[in-house]
């Protein structure tokens, strides 16, 4: 991880919401919200909420009286998320997952959809979650499986590795898809004090209106765009179109669909 990997600012939040959220995050948001609803929590803390896709799903599926505190390290993501939140009892707050500004035993459930991968010290973040959870509370989070098990990003990675053969962008492999070893995750959770850990690999379908939309999401709507611009100044759109060509060749013209794979983990103290 680098410091730049954690920064979602500038034009990225809006592009992320437009291109990435419908393609790969909405499919899992409903699943995560349904699993949280089964827990019947009165208070929920969400970490790394981003632009609020899982927040909105939880607000729809949980009783209106459920208090949801949604947090993210990046204020620009929160700012956009707040404009999109229309229902639910949601409090938005900037917070660092490794130093949570909440009292001990404050929440029945803690949720994190595709954010744990970005936390520099995983064990420290797990300890903080355990601290703010009530004794019988649960930590539910999702992390992406390896690049080779996710169709769209697999093609994107292949194209960029050829285009920048001497120094390919590594953001996707390093960050979003860099934390999928279930043995490591189990061990780190237990090192932080969790005694019961359940894991499930959940395979869903990702969809995009076009190959160009998908390429725009991967090349421009996350910190990988910085790596592309550093390697090819002024060529971001050209590289995006190169990726789009490969996606169209693999998945066809018009709306495209590809397999997604992620691990869903439930930890209890």
pLDDT in tens, 69-102: 999 999 999 999 999 988 878 999 999 999 999 9
So what's the pLDDT on residue 159? 98
On the question of pLDDT at 10 being above 90, the answer is no
Report residue 57 as tokens: 């799903």
43: three-class secondary structure by DSSP: strand
Cβ within 8 Å of residue 219, ≥6 positions away: 156, 225, 228, 236, 239, 240, 243
pLDDT in tens, 133-163: 999 999 999 999 999 999 999 999 999 999 9
Q: Which residue has the tokens 């995006």?
A: 240
Task: List domains and CATH numbers for the chain.
Answer: 3-268 (3.40.50.150)
CA 213 to chain CA centroid, Å, is 19
Integer CA distances (angstroms), 203 to 12, 15, 24, 31, 171, in order: 27, 25, 11, 11, 22
C-alpha dihedral sign at 107, 109, 111, 116: positive
42: three-class secondary structure by DSSP: coil
List the one residue out of 110, 95, 102, 131 whose CA is nearest residue 43: 110
Report residue 31 as tokens: 């699943």
% of the chain exceeding 90 in pLDDT: 93
So what's the pLDDT on residue 3? 54
């Amino acid at each position: 991880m680098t410091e730049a990997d954690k920064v979602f600012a500038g034009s990225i939040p809006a592009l992320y919401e437009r291109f990435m959220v419908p393609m790969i995050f909405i499919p899992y948001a409903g699943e995560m919200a349904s699993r949280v609803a089964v827990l019947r929590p009165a208070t929920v803390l969400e970490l790394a909420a981003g632009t609020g896709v899982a927040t909105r799903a939880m607000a729809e599926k949980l009783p209106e009286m459920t208090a949801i505190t949604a947090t993210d390290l990046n204020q620009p993501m929160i700012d956009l998320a707040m404009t999109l939140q229309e229902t639910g009892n949601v409090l938005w707050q900037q917070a660092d997952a490794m130093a949570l500004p909440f009292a001990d035993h404050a929440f029945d459930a803690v949720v994190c959809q595709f954010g744990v991968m970005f936390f520099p010290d995983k064990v420290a973040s797990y300890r903080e979650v355990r601290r703010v959870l009530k004794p019988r509370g649960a930590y539910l989070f999702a992390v992406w499986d390896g690049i080779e098990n996710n169709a769209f990003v697999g093609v994107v990675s292949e194209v960029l590795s050829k285009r920048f053969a001497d120094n390919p962008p590594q953001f996707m492999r390093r960050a979003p898809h860099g934390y999928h070893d279930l043995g490591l995750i189990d061990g780190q959770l237990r090192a932080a004090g969790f005694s019961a850990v359940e894991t499930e690999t959940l395979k869903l379908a990702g969809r995009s209106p076009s190959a160009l939309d998908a390429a725009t999401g991967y090349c421009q709507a996350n910190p990988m765009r910085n790596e592309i611009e550093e390697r090819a100044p002024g060529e971001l759109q050209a590289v995006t179109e190169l990726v789009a060509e490969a996606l169209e060749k693999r998945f066809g013209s018009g709306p495209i669909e590809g397999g997604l794979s992620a691990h869903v983990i439930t930890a209890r103290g």
